[in-house]
Every structure is written in C-alpha cells, then in structure tokens.
Homo-oligomer: A and B are copies of this chain.
C-alpha cells in the first residue's frame, strides 16, 4: 500500500461508511476507496458478502461518489475465493441472502451481489495486487475495469477442481470479456493466470509494474472523479449501450451527448480550450494536459 492509497484511507473524517466489519471505506474528492480486510486471506464469507452488498446499496444513492476503487488491505490476496465453510452453512447462507436480496430472483446470492456491483451508476475499478480466485474473480469481473500488479497478482477460476462449475457469474462474464475459447480454457483448465497473461487474454485491462499499481489507479480514479458533473455517469451509461443493437446504441450515444453539449460548462470548456491553444500544433501535442489545466 503506497502513500497514495494510504493518504486516501486516512484523510476522510466524515465518511458515512464506517460501520462495516470487513471493509474500510473512505470517500475523498468523489472517490470511494473500499478496502477489504478480512484476515487471513479475505475469503468471500457471508460477512464480507453482507458488507459489500450493504455498501453497494448505500453508495448507489451517493451523488458525491463518482468512482469506486475496490482494493484489499492484504497485499497477497484480493479475495481468496468464496468461503469454503459455506458448504456446511447453506441455511445460514439462505438467511443472509434473503435479508440482503428480499426480492425473488432467478439468481443465487453470489450472482446477485455481483450484479448489484455491476449495475452501480458509479465507475468501479478493481485493484488486484495479490491473488484472486473463483468468487473473488467473479466480483472483480463485475467491476467496470481491473488493473493488476505484474509479478504479484494471480487470477484464477479454480472451481472445477472442487467438483463444481463457477456459480457466481464467471461462465457468463468471462466469455463476454475474453471470448469463448479462452474462457473455456480458463474455466475447465483451472490454472492460475499471472497479470501479463491475464492482460493478453483481456481478463484485466492492463498489467502494471507492481510498484506503479497504486499510483496508476489513483491517478485514473482522480481523473475520472474530476470530470464535470454527470459526465462520468453518462460515459458509463453510454458504454452500456453495447448490449443494444448498433442503431439503438448510436441513438443512445447521441441523446447522452446532446444532454451535455449544450450545457454552459461544456461551452466554457471548449472555448477555454480554444483560448488556451487547442487546434494549434503546439496546443494539440498534449491536449489532455491543456484541457485538464483549465
């Protein structure tokens, strides 16, 4: 955990999110830093499931939060996997599930948790420093994007070695993410993938040098959280049009664009960019820097 995350975790004084047994949550400048802390290896226990679900239910309505970073207090494990003790606790599991998700659903409790996170209006980022397997990988795939530490992170769907198939959504999420051929290799082969191979397969957005992971994710989260009001959420909504046929997706993109492009803030940024040198060879070299400095 570098200074970046450390600072984020301690500089929040008034978080409404400090009632979780297995999570530390701090909100700083539009970013919710959610740190899972359930020793020794962060198994996805009923407690962690309940905390993750209650946090998601609360943050969904928090207009102050634009970006959520999910990370682990344990550098060696993001989430080990679903708590294997559950095999002796199906009744307790059913009770917790009914409490968290009272509405009837064709999905099991792990899938419901993951779908709850996947459909958050905020942009969600998984920071994978250590190992993550099975139900932990499924939660990571329910996030909008994933970055992992080269040489340290490992990701696997290990369920078949326990005599089951993944039950929390991997069989649906993974082929959508990396294609059917590679998804079947991952799921039926049950081998651990390092960060580089996970990137080559498209399982994560990118493998990064371990010492840069914290600062990369912090920078990206801050860039997204610093966008003009409504823009980050509109971007997520627009990209979700991928589930629609192309003409519908284009029309949805146009509608979201039109909602924003005639706002005074857009006009002011565009004219400000022009005044600062956009559309000249020099200004265009680092247009991103130019616009961020406005």
Chain A interface (Cβ < 8 Å from any Cβ of B)? 40-41, 43, 76-77, 80-81, 83-85, 87-88, 106-108, 111, 115, 123, 131, 133, 144-146, 156, 158, 160-167, 169-172, 174-177, 179-185, 187-192, 199-200, 202, 205, 220, 223-224, 227-228, 231-232, 234-236, 238-243, 245-247, 249-254, 256-258, 260-261, 263, 265-271, 273-274, 278-281, 284, 287-288, 291-292
Q: Given A145-B184, A177-B181, A267-B87, A261–B76 Cβ distance below 8 Å? A: no
Report yes or no: B145 in contact with A231, Cβ–Cβ below 8 A. Answer: no
C-alpha gap A100/B124 in the complex (Å) = 41
Interface-centre pick from A85, A192, A238 (highest chain B CB count, 10 A)? A238
- A160 cross-chain contacts in B, Cβ below 8 A: 227-228, 231-232, 235
Please name 15 pairs of A and B residues whose Cβ atoms are closer than 8 Å in the assembled complex, sorted by A: A80-B287, A87-B267, A106-B251, A107-B251, A111-B250, A115-B250, A133-B287, A160-B227, A160-B232, A160-B235, A163-B228, A180-B239, A184-B236, A187-B238, A192-B287
